[in-house]
Structures are given as C-alpha cells and as structure tokens.
Structure 1
C-alpha cells in the first residue's frame, strides 16, 4: 500500500516510530483526544505502542495510518488514515486528528481529500465511512464540507472511555464524486 500521499500543503506518510515525540505532543492534548477512542497520553511510550500497533495492522492490510506533515515547515501536525479496511466489501472507515494549533486552517479537509482520492482511485474502494460523536461539531463540519452523507445515529454503538457513546454515521461513495 502507498506510503506517501501529497497535497498542495501536506505530505502524508506512513507512521514511523520516529514520529512518536511529535504525535505524543498531539495525543497528550485532552482537547485533541476528547472525541477519540483513546485517553490523552501521559508518556511517549504510549505513542510508540500505538504507532507499532497501527503499523502491524498496515502490514496485515487491515488499516493504514499516515503522519500529516505541513510541507512549508516540515512540522508534524497530526495523523489520519483508514481505521479499518474491508476489501471484500470495498469499504474503509477513516479517522483523523490535528494539533489544536492547526485547527481551522483547512488541513483536515485537505488530508481527507487525499485519503478519498487514494481510496477510490488506487485501492478501488466503493465506500468510505466516518463515525463521529454527535457533539464533535468541528469534525461534522469537515465531513459536511466534503459532501459526506449523514446516514443516521448509531445509538450506544461503541464503548469509549468507560461509557457507551452514540456515533453519527457519514459516508461517501465513489459514485458521489461524479455528482459534485
């Protein structure tokens, strides 16, 4: 699977252990992890463990996670990728996170657009899903900006941080691209 994706302002590359310090700084921010299925990290070893685990899933072609790097500065500003790849059903679920200092600058839609292009045109997937807590307004705005379709709310769909949470299901189909 592709290890490098580029946009006008971003370089997305496969996670590396060498990213652990920068990603720890992002994943230790409670505002960043508020709607993620992880608690904010308290030591860099947690980042190393997650990176190792995600890279193992990538080797098995079950998931792939990219480090998001701002091209102009070379700074690591977040991560994104496919949380689950289902080639039998030609679909994947996406996820993404950004350092708080980079919120509101259009980086999330730019990174997700690169993921969509790769998913539909290289991996030949038909459907991309995004599950978002209903209170995560910023993430919902990103998906709406990219013309994802809201399909409904999955009530108490997953357990996160010790409690059951509702998740809004959004999707984008390969055929949706032809309508834009």
Structure 2
C-alpha cells in the first residue's frame, strides 16, 4: 500500500527496509528523549518483524516515509498501530524521523495524514499518542494536530510518567 501527501510518500515497509530502520531507531540522537537510548541491533531485529507482522494481521501499520523530492531515501517510519498502554490496546500514532528530516514539518504532515487515515479509512473513533514530557517538538506536533493531553502512563517506572494524548473524531 502506498499513500502520498503534499511532500511525502508513505509505503508499507518490507524486510528489505530493516537496515534503514535500524539506522534511524539505533541513532542516539533520534532517541534523545527515550530513557533506553538508541535501539540495539538485537532489539531492532525483534521489533522490525513485529512491525511487518502488524501489517499482515491488521492491513495497516507504520509506514516507511520518503519524500517526493528524494523518493529513493527513507527518512523515517511512522503512522498508526495498535499499542498496549499497560493493559489496554489503543490505536497509537507514532513516528521516528532521521535527524536530517527534523524541523521541516514532515512529522506534522505525516501525523495529519495518519489521522485522516485512522478516522476515514479505518473508521476509528479515537487516536492516541504517547510522548515523553521533555519531548517538546513532538508535543508541539500533537497539539498542532489538535490532540489533547488526557493522562499519564507509567511506562518507565522510577522516571517521570509519559504523557498520553488523544484525538477524538468529530461527530
């Protein structure tokens, strides 16, 4: 499945995308707000097949993100997927972009497209997002996309709780 936005190409990832996934998710800079830091190769090798499997099971998931300007270069991964919030599965918006793609509005463009997809194509009533309190750029993206802060998630015991954001489909 391929979708396009004004500047982005969103594609279902394949096994061939693993190395780029690891480069982005393993980069300490892209994990500046993640208490665990950059993803290890072993962890990436566990998580990436789960991303591919999510597509197989649900027919949607995190997209491989490219720009129309440079369609041969993956700049990140993001979109919607089911995520366990301790005990409850919720439709979650998530993304991670290469540092070279930061500050260009790509996260907002992706998020807005994912929201439209979640509400109009998947027909879901709400979309959630989890963000670390210090991650001001991602909080800004969520607020720009009309998400509301609705709670906290103790996903890193002993550390400040993550923020839960929610966007409800308008009736």
Q: Is the 8 A contact 1:16 1:51 kept in 2?
A: no
What residue number does 1:61 align with? Answer: 58
Alpha-carbon deviation of 1:92?
Answer: 1.1
Q: Structure 1, residues 74-128: CA drift from partner, whole Å, max 9, x if none?
A: 1210000223179xx9x61111111111111000000111111111001000100
Matches within 5 A, 1:2-21: 3-21=1-19
Question: Which digits, 9 at most, give the CA deviation of each residue in 1:2-53, with x for residues without a partner?
Answer: x22210110111111211222222112112123348642454x654542212
Deviation (angstroms), 1:159:
3.0
Bigger shift: residues 137-146 or 76-85: 76-85
Structure 2: gaps (5+ residues): none
Tell me what 2:102 maps to.
103
The CA RMSD measured in Å over matched residues stands at 2.7
- Do structure 1's residue 129 and structure 2's residue 128 form an aligned pair? yes
The alpha-carbon deviation at position 66 of structure 1 amounts to 0.8
Looking at structure 2, the residues matched to 36 and 79 of structure 1 have their Cα atoms a distance apart, in angstroms, of: 16
Determine the C-alpha separation between the residues in 1 that align with 2:27 and 2:114.
Answer: 24
Equivalent of 1:173, from 133, 152, 168? Answer: 168
Quick one: which of 33, 36, 44 aligns to 1:35?
A: 33
Unaligned runs of 5+ in 1: none
User: TM (normalized to structure 1)?
Assistant: 0.81
Query: Residue 54 of structure 2 aligns to a residue in which SS?
Result: helix
Distance 2:49 2:151 in 1: 33
